[in-house]
Amino acid sequence: MTTSPRPPGHAPAQEQPSWVSCTNCRSLVYGKRYQRLLHVCPECGAHARLDAPARIAQLFDEGSVQYLDIPATQHNPLDFVDQRPYAERLQQARHRTDQHDAVLAVRGRIEGRQLTAAVMDFRFFGGSLGVAAGEAITTAAENALRDRTPLLLVTASGGARMQEGALSLMQMAKTSNALAELDEAGLLTVTLVTDPTYGGVAASFATLSDVVVAEPGARMGFAGPRVIEQTIRQQLPDGFQTAEFLRDHGLVDDVWERGELRARLARLLAVSTGPAAEWGSGEVDPVVRDSQLLDQLPAWDCVQLAREAGRPTALEHIGYWLDGFVELHGDRAGEECPAIVGGIGCLDELPVMVIGHQKGHTTTELVGRNFGMPTPAGYRKAARLMRLAAKLRIPVVTLIDTPGAYPGLTAEEKGQSVAIAENLRLMGSLPVPVVAVVTGEGGSGGALALGVADRVLICANATYSVISPEGCAAILWKNAAEAAVAADELGLDAASLLRLGVVDGVIPEPEGGGHMDTATLSDSVRRAVVAALRELRSAPDGESVAARRRRFRAFGLAEGP
């Protein structure tokens, strides 16, 4: 391992020109200002390419970088010759970049947090994945495994290196296997997609990380736009394969400005540090566990309060009581559902994964969030985040507030029932503490898909039901106007649910309902979650899954749960 401010043999950085012309909008930018802006155009926001040394200098704490020694690889395995011998091209690339190949592997710190990284350099054969590049990425992963640090991958590549034939192709499997070992070890992996990332890189290690983020405008795909257009003989939509397109289609978690990267990566890296053993001991549990102590409103009044537009949403709860929250998007299968939100943050220094239904307050917000009714992509996103929590061994907290799963045509075509069923099975098997809180409406299977938990709590004026009162009245009374009667018969209010054992406790609300004092309600939810996690974290390892399954196994038995 080599400790150096730059890779061994790397020449000093070239002097910044006095003026720089943006390659996107052609605006002239004063060179020193452009450098301070990290090569981002102040006029159009275009992010210029950075070489690997510049990227490392931008991301890592000064003086913390150590370059990893990479094992020797075959120099020119095919003796490939096109218009010029590959050996000559390789020598020229090494001379021009003063690097051995297209990837630099390093370890260091970002805002004091240790990690290992493999950073690609597009200057070297278009960042193509050859045997030396594949070895550097794999070496970085193996060092992360040995040192038990997170792994960061910064991608910039046109794909596999043709001049190395099938050996280049094998690097896709080699690097993917290296990431699998990090999955098995429970170590966080993050990919930063920069422009461009294509071919065998996109189809292997780049998209296998736990969290995949991209710089604005960065393009990623298996085939390039020209190849696709020539194949399908259609014009592609504007912005196709850009970072923003990928986020909207659930393929990357988010798009981060270059100036935000260090701070946001540091937030993610915080999941690798746990709190003290006495975590949560100072909080007073507000939960009521005896239904006779509840001053419960009529069920229909609870229905109205649960639907009150002013109640705090999942994102507002998260904003009230999570530090360093990093929202993650997408099901990684082509869709993003805004009705479910989720991500990683710290609850009083305890890293947690929070997932919740998201509605809104205004008509525009409600329409944009599909009124909190998730599509299959929403449940698959939730499942992806729960699997990540299980890998990282951090608790899961779910916030339930939905009238139900989206019942539309497209949802049925894309497997709504399957997505819900898979979440029920997954939640029952998560090897980490799980706490669910019904904060508003708990509508049918759409709610239960986030509700298979060790502790299920409910806000005092929230509801949880197999069907809406209106739906029940229309089916059984043949008259939707009997909804108030149906609500009472369904036992969907907090007191009834506590008596049935469906919920473990009730979180008190401010007088008049949670919408009257959202900060007070959210703080009560926070304290209830802390108290539940404090208890669950003290349980012996391996008991949570069995206890959770016993809890749900007992429902309906004569002796109750």
Query: Which residues are documented as binding site for Zn(2+)?
Result: 22, 25, 41, 44
514 secondary structure, DSSP code: G
The closest alpha carbon to 186, from 272, 117, 277, belongs to 272
Annotated binding site: 22, 25, 41, 44
**Contact between residue 355 and residue 340 where contact means Cβ atoms under 8 Å apart:** yes
Characterize 479-513 residue by residue with b for buried, 16 or more Cβ atoms within 10 angstroms of its Cβ, and e for exposed.
eeebbbbbbeebbbbbbbbbbeebbbbbbbbbeeb
Between the two ends of the chain, the Cα-to-Cα distance in Å is 57
510 φ/ψ sector (left φ>0, alpha ψ -120 to 50, else beta): beta
Task: Count CA within 13 A, CB hemisphere, residue 467.
Answer: 13
Residues 516, 345, 118: CA angle, nearest 5 degrees: 155
d(CA 363, CA 398): 24
For Cα atoms 220, 225, 226, give the angle at the middle one, nearest 5 degrees.
145
C-alpha–C-alpha distance, residues 435 and 537, integer Å: 11
DSSP string, 134-187: HHHHHHHHHHHHHHT--EEEEEEESSB-GGGHHHHHHHHHHHHHHHHHHHHHT-
Name the one residue in this structure whose structure tokens are 């419960």.
Answer: 296
Contact 160, 175 (CB under 8 A): no
Three-state SS at 334: coil
